[in-house]
């Protein structure tokens, strides 16, 4: 083939190759841009549980090839509402959020519905009369967690002398949040049938270590040795409580029966050491379920309205030697 003609042929071939490569890269970009975009409003970082929940969502999004817009509200409902409205404005494909409290979501959920953006409620729940305002709730049955805590205490009481009376201090989570309201209801409904169990007092530690410590100091000042049982709505507040007991020379797990909820590794370790008597599981590992539901919603597939995690209680009566690491 004559040289100029061959050179022209090579030039055309090179240009074609570049054009095709560029198109495939653009197509790749568009495909990636077509990846599902999930807006996720996390309520805060108040406990090891919450940090585990955020990690679970981030890792599951990465594994599923789902683009995640994550906003942390640092315990502020106002910031959550702002984040949800920014997701709507950005026209994400799906919204997921853990509502810090039950009330006050109808308007923003209506805006999401009008924008045609399906909403997944994860972890805590909202209180709404309009079921069309969200597609799915995925999380724990908080009432059952309270029941399991109460059932443990009744079992513990059955091992004590028949004249024993147990005075309970309830250390509650964030006021108006579904875990706080439902764990309390489940526990109280369960122990109500036992006249030898009294709820001495209830005080909110807002699910935080520091506030849990302050509250238990107050309760020890107020009730002293009348304080027989601590029912803490989460492990973080229980850790603070154990610090307070230490300051007052009270031996947790012996002088005071300790019941907690979440099932963090640290809490299970304390249970094995005998410093805690019962830890009710509440798994934060909701990421995979959220991503599958988001994918199904985007693909227009049918989804279950309510997806509950299966959970158990770990108690001093159990053999915990084979328990797998908790992962949070
Ligand atoms: C329960 C979750 C609670 C945890 C706390 O699902 O909402 O919030 O029990 C966390 O540790 O602060």
Residue 32 predicted with pLDDT over 80: no
Distance CA 228, CA 203 (A): 15
Distance from the CA of 124 to the center of ligand 1, in angstroms? 8
Same domain, 221 and 183: yes
The vertex-187 CA angle with 165 and 280, nearest 5°, equals: 105
- Residues 122, 184 share a domain: no
Choose which residue among 125, 234, 267 to substitute to test ligand 1 binding: the one with the highest number of ligand atoms within 8 A of its C-beta: 234
pLDDT for 21 equals: 54
Among 137, 205, 262, which is best to mutate for testing ligand 1, by the most ligand atoms less than 8 A from CB?
262
Same domain, 235 and 148: yes
On whether residue 16 sits in a domain, the answer given is no
The Å distance, Cα 238 to ligand 1 centre, comes to 13
Q: What is the pLDDT of residue 13?
A: 64
Same domain, 156 and 251: yes
Residues 146 and 136 in one domain: no
pLDDT score of 178: 98
Mean pLDDT, residues 242-270: 98
Tokens 């305002």: give the residue: 133
Of the candidates 32, 26, 70, which has an alpha carbon nearest to the alpha carbon of residue 51?
Answer: 70
**Judgement on whether residues 263 and 291 belong to the same structural domain of the protein:** no
What integer pLDDT is reported at residue 34 of this predicted model?
Answer: 76
Domain boundary among 263, 282, 301: 282
Distances (CA, A) of 71 to 15, 38, 99, 250, 312: 44, 11, 13, 41, 31
Cα 113 to Cα 88, 102, 106, 132, 241, distances in angstroms? 10, 19, 10, 8, 43
Q: Are residues 101 and 209 in the same domain?
A: no
Whether the per-residue pLDDT at 270 is higher than 60: the answer is: yes
Residue 5 lies in a domain: no
Note whether residue 15 is domain-resident: no
pLDDT tens column, 308-321 = 999 999 999 999 99
Structural domain includes residue 110: yes
CATH code, 256: 3.40.50.2300
202 and 123 co-located in one domain: no
Q: In terms of domains, do 160 and 244 share one?
A: yes
pLDDT for residue 12 is more than 70 = no
Is the residue at 60 inside a domain? yes
Looking at the structure, tell me whether residues 69 and 84 fall in a common domain.
yes
Report the residue among 144, 149, 171, 179 best suited for mutation to probe ligand 1: largest number of ligand atoms under 8 A from its CB. 179
Whether residue 186 is contained in a domain is answered as yes
Ligand 1 lining (C-beta closer than 6 Å): 46-47, 49-50, 123-124, 139-140, 179, 207, 234, 236, 261-262, 282
> Which residues make beta-bridge pairs with 167?
198
Please count the other Cβ atoms lying within 10 Å of the Cβ belonging to residue 276.
29
**202 domain residue, yes or no:** yes
* Structural domain boundaries enclosing 52: 34-140+284-310
Which atom of ligand 1 approaches the CA of 233 most closely?
Answer: 9
Total domains, the chain:
2
Please enumerate in sequence order all residues whose Cβ is within 8 A of that of 255, keeping only pairs 6 or more positions apart, or say none.
245
Residue 2 domain flag:
no
Shortest-distance atom of ligand 1 to CA 207: 12
Q: What is the pLDDT of residues 222-244, one digit of tens each?
A: 999 999 999 999 999 999 999 99
**φ/ψ (deg, to 5) at 29:** -60, -45
Starting at the edge strand found earlier in the chain, the sheet holding 94-97 runs 67-72, 37-42, 94-97, 119-122, 136-139, 306-308
Atom 9 (ligand 1) nearest CA = 234
123 and 147 share one domain: no
Question: Are 50 and 135 found together in one domain?
Answer: yes
């Amino acid at each position: 083939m004559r040289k100029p003609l061959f050179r022209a042929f090579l030039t055309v071939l090179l240009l074609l190759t570049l054009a095709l490569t560029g198109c495939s890269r653009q197509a790749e970009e568009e495909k990636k841009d077509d990846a599902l975009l999930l807006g996720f409003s996390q309520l805060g970082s108040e406990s090891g549980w919450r940090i585990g929940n955020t990690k679970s969502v981030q890792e599951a999004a990465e594994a599923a090839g789902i683009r995640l817009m994550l906003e942390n509200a640092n315990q502020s409902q106002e910031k959550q509402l702002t984040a949800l409205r920014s997701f709507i404005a950005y026209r994400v494909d799906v919204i997921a959020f853990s509502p810090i409290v039950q009330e006050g979501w109808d308007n923003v959920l209506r805006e999401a519905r009008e924008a045609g953006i399906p909403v997944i409620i994860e972890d805590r729940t909202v209180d709404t009369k309009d079921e069309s305002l969200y597609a799915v709730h995925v999380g724990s049955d908080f009432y059952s967690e309270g029941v399991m805590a109460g059932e443990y205490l009744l079992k513990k009481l059955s091992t004590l002398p028949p004249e024993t009376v147990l005075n309970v201090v309830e250390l509650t989570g964030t006021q108006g949040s579904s875990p706080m309201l439902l764990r309390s209801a489940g526990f109280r409904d369960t122990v109500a049938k036992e006249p030898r169990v009294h709820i001495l007092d209830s005080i909110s530690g807002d699910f935080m270590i520091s506030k849990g410590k302050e509250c238990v100091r107050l309760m020890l000042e107020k009730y002293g040795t009348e304080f027989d049982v601590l029912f803490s709505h989460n492990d973080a507040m229980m850790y603070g409580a154990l610090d307070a007991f230490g300051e007052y020379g009270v031996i947790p797990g012996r002088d005071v029966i300790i019941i907690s909820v979440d099932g963090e590794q640290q809490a299970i370790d304390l249970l094995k050491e005998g410093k805690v008597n019962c830890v009710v599981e509440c798994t934060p590992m909701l990421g995979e379920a959220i991503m599958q539901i988001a994918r199904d919603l985007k693909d227009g597939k049918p989804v279950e309205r309510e997806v509950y995690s299966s959970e158990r209680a770990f108690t001093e009566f159990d053999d915990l030697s084979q328990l797998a690491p908790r992962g949070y």
